[in-house]
Amino acid sequence: MTDRDLIEKRLAFIETCVYQLRELAHPEQIEHDIREERFTAHTLQIAIQASLDIASHIVSDRRLGEPETNRELFDLLRTDQWLSLELANTMRKMAGFRNIVVHGYQHMEPLILRDIIENRLGDLLAFTAAIRVRLEG
């Protein structure tokens, strides 16, 4: 059975991260200030990780399949109508960005980080809203 309390805690954590990024981040400084880059990248990373944790819990609980990658978790949620196609694709990209930050697969572009902070934080909130709609339904 889906642990609603666990999911709600993770959803609230994502919302807290978004709030902190909106209130405390200075995206215009990311290219020139290593502390700013690390604060924004790490806070974004842990918010995305929380979304992956939620997705993994739901996929496992509902027996939606065995994803080979973290990105596929969002495809499985889309297939089970938890997410729209557009939101699933966006969250796949977020998971890819998280992989770059965590594993250093390639150099993280400060301009991409800045763009996410300035323009894409609402996607994480759209994810939390979509999950809540299904939980309540």
User: What gap in Å lies between CA 128 and CA 123, rounded to an integer?
Assistant: 9
- Give the number of domains in the chain: 1
Cα within 13 Å of Cα(114), Cβ side? 13
CATH (domain of 44): 1.20.120.580
Domain that holds residue 67: 4-136
Query: Would you say residue 59 has pLDDT above 70?
Result: yes
- Helix ranges (DSSP H) in 25-70: 34-61
pTM of the model: 0.94
End-to-end CA distance of the chain: 15
User: What gap in Å lies between CA 79 and CA 73, rounded to an integer?
Assistant: 10
- What tens digit of pLDDT does each residue of 90-120 get? 999 999 999 888 887 567 789 999 999 999 9
